[in-house]
Structure 1
Amino acid sequence: MALLTLAEAKAQLNITSTSNDTELQVYVDAVGPVIERFIGPVAERIVVETQDVARDGVQVLVLRTTPVVSLTSVEPLLASGGTSYDVGALVLDGDTGIVRRADGGWLRGPLKVTYTAGRGEVPATVNLAARMLVQHLWQTQNASRGPVLPGGGDYSVSEPVAGLGYAVPNRVLELLEPYRLLPGVA
């Protein structure tokens, strides 16, 4: 599952030739980490992390990479023993990454947690945001290759002071807003 394909980017830019495919693919590849910085992983990936839970235990674990699709395993970090937890007996809030025991009991650690983070599919709004971000970056870098919107708008490359541009236009941020990561706790 790709956040954005080369064909989708070319459609957004109204490009029909293949002469810029190699360069444009760099832009397509670059928008993924930018989008994921705001909304978390899109493509599903396996994450293994250590939860430094004290042996006294906690009632919830907070996974670091959200959204979470599924839990694979929750097992003791130390080979010398500890408790493994049946993931079927755990409750996962995929949006927040909060894991707790269904029976209300305590989780004791330290623990190694393996899970799948990402999204089952790319929401249409997120795909559109990626298309618009590629368009913005392509037009600011390659203004001579295509039309620039009247008045410059988000795509102006003739800024009064060099270097005061921005990589992610507000319209892209607004499209991503419903999928934004929750604020973290330091």
Structure 2
Amino acid sequence: MAAKRSSKEYSNAEAVDIIHQVANLYISTKVPQDYGTGEEYTSVEVHTLKHIADNPGITVTELARHNGKTKGAISQILKKIEKKGLVCREASNGDNKLPLFLTEKGKELDLAHRNYDMVHAGESMNEVRRLYTPEEMNTAFQVLETWLEVRRQVEEERKKNKIKQNYPVNRKD
């Protein structure tokens, strides 16, 4: 199995590359699968459900912000899972923002998905936990959580201020 890495200082580029690799590995499971309900769903669908379950009444705008996606992209995902009977929107006080909630079928899938992740993601996570102390693990996740929060804020500011960044290209002529 994996061996504990030596303590090395990672550059920003190395750290971001590791985060990118983790995200790609996790997201690459676009193939629908059965999480234990007898029907197949994509990882994106079940994780969208999970966030709605954890935040009943969340709006499309809030969901888009959390996922770092456009409202249009989130609306496409929601259209699919609404069609499958997993999510419903409820009108609230004449407000155009329709809060999202899970249906009973959505709640069953959310529970099945959480159980699935405890087993399957738990295998690799348990192996990593054997290599590090609980304090080291907590610190690692605190750092990732903080990085994610800061990254979302930076992206939000860029969008708000329509900031476009030009990056210099070092050419070897």
TM over 0.5: no
After TM superposition, the score normalised by the length of structure 2 is: 0.26
Instruction: Compare CA radii of gyration and give the structure with the larger one.
Output: 1
Q: Which is bigger in relative contact order (C-alpha 8 A, separation at least 6)?
A: 1
Q: TM-score, normalised by structure 1?
A: 0.25
More strand by share: 1
